[in-house]
């Protein structure tokens, strides 16, 4: 009987360690590469704020830091609206991953969009550590 109790405790302890840890974030940093000029721009944005580009707009709805069995990743739920040649919007709504950027990414003929980092603190209210 004691063996079954120890075995149950062992499995429960290991089960709790194997569950992925999620940290909800308040903002994100995106890297936007212009494919024609090779110019990189970094946008620090809070959630639900629109980033306007030449031919599209981007909104980050959710950004999460994940840790699963020692492997870290960051994912963001993003809407990307692209105006095509017929002036109609093509909409991408999906999760983009920091570790595997091309697994699921929006299609844009001018820009390459990548998640650089999820920000735990709201980027509007980032604290300045300089002393006065």
Domain count, the chain: 1
**Tens digits of residue pLDDT in 3-50:** 545 445 554 545 444 566 888 999 999 999 999 999 999 999 999 999
Residue at 132 is within a domain: no
Domain coverage including residue 43: 20-125
- Please report the DSSP string for 71-131 in residue order: EEEEEEEEEEEEE-TTS-EEEEEEEEESSSTTTS----SSEEEEEEEEESS-GGGPPP---
Residue at 4 is within a domain: no
Residue at 75 is within a domain: yes
Residue at 131 is within a domain: no
Residue at 89 is within a domain: yes
As a whole number of angstroms, the distance between CA 48 and CA 28 comes to 10
pLDDT at 102: 72
Residue at 130 is within a domain: no
Structure tokens at 59: 């909104």
Cα–chain center distance at 100: 11
């Amino acid at each position: 009987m004691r063996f079954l109790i120890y075995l149950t405790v062992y499995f429960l302890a290991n089960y709790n360690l194997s569950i992925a840890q999620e940290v909800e974030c308040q903002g994100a940093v995106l890297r936007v590469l212009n494919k024609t000029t090779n110019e990189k721009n970094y946008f620090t944005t809070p959630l639900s704020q629109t980033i306007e580009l030449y031919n599209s707009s981007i909104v980050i709805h959710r950004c999460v830091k994940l840790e699963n069995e020692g492997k870290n990743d960051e994912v963001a739920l993003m809407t990307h609206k692209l105006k095509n040649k017929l002036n109609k919007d093509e909409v991408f709504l999906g999760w983009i991953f920091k570790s595997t950027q091309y697994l699921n990414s929006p299609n844009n003929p001018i820009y390459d969009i990548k998640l650089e980092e999820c920000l735990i603190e709201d980027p509007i209210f980032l604290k300045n550590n300089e002393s006065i």
